[in-house]
Structure 1
């Protein structure tokens, strides 16, 4: 059966990697396409249990359900519902499409070419120079179909960065009143945090750099509060914990000198954004949290996912060079060295660079505030993606 009048809906397929990274990006994109562009979106996800950690109202046992205008479908083998090709098909981060989807694409290509969706591979975000040259390139598949490579990025010739239209205005309104962050901390069950205290959020992979920083923070002249969810960061801090990680409960406090560790409950994406807005410094990992830390307009450390042959350090240095372009050389050097030392687990170096770089240094804060505006390059990823589809 042919389908000459192509449906307007989009399909996004996502496999959950590292629990929250890939699904975090695709969930934000799906919501934005549905809410800001009124595009019907089917989001196919293979791991609803992990997904539910950032979308608490999601039922991991349901085959299909809708939230924020997005149809969420459990991606199983075989697919639990029939796949009907729409206007656009996105495979997030090179996930392998189901055979029945590929078979339908081939059938449409052979029998009803006008109904074949525009097929995109949404790639990982990178600040490397080569991204602009590869963004948007088509790839002819063995079955005769054409797939485009869509690269998010910081340059004007890339696919852009995920950012909701009202995000910066909401952030500015939130940060204008310190009562907002104190109310949020209270809602999260965190006690004893005053408006003038230094608050640091930690969402990293395992690293020996963390205990080194915590040892330094214990000796701080002022109170420091480190907010950490149960997860991989705590694996590096077992010597500071009073019990096994599994026995920790949200809201629990562990005090060492002038450092207080607070165990965070899981939160949805809006709650996570507000948490980053409310902290003085953020340590983040992966891609989704990395970008949200930039949008928070606060200083941060990016703990990038380790890759073979230390290629992740090449990607990190490409971003550091871009981010530091307008920073005073001394501050740029300290901030870059801090990020590199953290990613290489250099304990003494990370402590030294933390002390050299005052995290609330006014030039760094001013830069963190201006950076999101510069990084967007006048158009976010969703806007560029819609235009790309139109041009294709």
Structure 2
């Protein structure tokens, strides 16, 4: 379906370094490149954004990147002369500036205003998705838009052609060999497992490193620079930084420089299993169709564990009981600082079946449609 070329303003505050901006940057690109929308992205932390988008000039308060207008969101003194867009996205409950709210009030017709919520698999999401919330103070209407895992939600971000690109990469042994060589790694040894590790700090990593080092089969851990190194570095007698290659028993640890989003996708596609964190990496791990462990962002009073359990309940449905228990227990151990090491051998033994399950899961989720497309369709109905 063809949609009008609407103007969009997306507001994002960077809370967890990369997760929030990772989601909004993907959304902005998809709105422009697949749906022909006109997007302005307001970000309060250009330095973090530049890690994901190396072409960004952090010295510029306004610039064009990949067809998107990127603007620094000043926390003080938001400009009074900014016109509101036709569609406004308040990402992850960030608070819009008063000056911009005034611009929204002046616009006719008033904008379609969405609060883009965090991703969750909890049952209540289905009933709350797309609920309208009158804002009488401003004379505006806002809707709560929930990404999710059912047809009753907004779905997940997924670019057109992503699955085809993934499948072509995973079938191209020559491309993967060249990729490993470019990272400074030798060809795979027989039976070797390669695992990416992009988590928060956790005591669970120490046990996994010991298990991997004593493994009967070789294990290579690919660790992008970041918070996971805080938990891994003390286990070695040398500094771990981008480019470091260190051996510990039957474990090889390769520290990778931080990469852009397409580069991270290739890493996920190339590994046998992935340890991921937050929201953006979590979704990309699902599209990679590989077994994964999700290190969810910690919240007060264990609220994150409720979200983790809700996702696992959906994800492991249909798996044989032993494999379901392995996936559940390994994820819980990783998120509670428990002993993940005893569970890893069971996951490694079940990798072929879990890989097929991951592929089937990705196909089912893609069938729900994608978040960007649902937003465009909803906004068009709102504004017509």
> If the TM-score is normalised by the length of the shorter chain, which range does it land in?
over 0.9
What SS does structure 2 have at the residue aligned with 1:161?
A: coil
Q: 1:121 maps to which residue?
A: 115
Q: Indicate conservation of the 8 Å contact 1:63/1:80, yes or no.
A: no
- Higher mean displacement: 326-335 or 15-24: 326-335
Q: Alpha carbons of 1:193 and 1:224: their partners in 2 closer, same or farther (altered >3 Å)?
A: farther
Give the alignment of 1:10-25 within 5 angstroms. 10-25=8-23
2:243 to 251, 272, 293: 251
What SS does structure 1 have at the residue aligned with 2:160?
A: coil
Moved over 6 A (4+): none
What SS does structure 1 have at the residue aligned with 2:51?
A: coil
Q: 1:287 maps to which residue?
A: 279
Q: TM-score under structure 1 normalisation?
A: 0.92
Q: TM-score under structure 2 normalisation?
A: 0.94
Q: 1:40 maps to which residue?
A: 38
Q: Is 1:155 matched up with 2:150?
A: yes
What SS does structure 1 have at the residue aligned with 2:42?
A: strand
- Higher mean displacement: 202-211 or 381-390: 381-390
1:319 to 311, 320, 323: 311
Shift of 1:357: 2.3
Q: 1:171 maps to which residue?
A: 166
Q: 2:99 maps to which residue?
A: 100
* Residues matched between the structures, number: 376
Q: 2:373 maps to which residue?
A: 383
Shift of 1:358: 2.3
Q: Alpha carbons of 1:340 and 1:249: their partners in 2 closer, same or farther (altered >3 Å)?
A: closer
Q: Output the CA distance in 2 between the equivalents of 1:385 and 1:363.
A: 35
Q: Output the CA distance in 2 between the equivalents of 1:65 and 1:239.
A: 41
Shift of 1:274: 0.6
Q: Is 1:266 matched up with 2:264?
A: no
Q: Output the CA distance in 1 between the equivalents of 2:124 and 2:242.
A: 43
Q: Alpha carbons of 1:67 and 1:359: their partners in 2 closer, same or farther (altered >3 Å)?
A: farther
Shift of 1:193: 4.2
Q: 1:3 maps to which residue?
A: none
Q: Deviations over 1:312-363 (max 9, x none)?
A: 111001000101112122211111111111111112xx11211222265322
Q: Output the CA distance in 1 between the equivalents of 2:20 and 2:269.
A: 22
Q: Output the CA distance in 2 between the equivalents of 1:176 and 1:382.
A: 28
Q: Deviations over 1:198-251 (max 9, x none)?
A: 11100001111001000000011121110112221011123223334xxx4322
> C-alpha root-mean-square deviation of aligned residues, in Å?
1.6
Q: Deviations over 1:249-289 (max 9, x none)?
A: 32211110010111101111000001100001100000000
Q: Deviations over 1:135-159 (max 9, x none)?
A: 0011111222111100000111101
Q: Deviations over 1:174-205 (max 9, x none)?
A: 000122222222323x3234264211100001
What SS does structure 2 have at the residue aligned with 1:225?
A: strand
Q: Output the CA distance in 1 between the equivalents of 2:180 and 2:209.
A: 21
Q: Which runs of 5+ in 1 are unaligned?
A: 1-5
What SS does structure 2 have at the residue aligned with 1:231?
A: coil
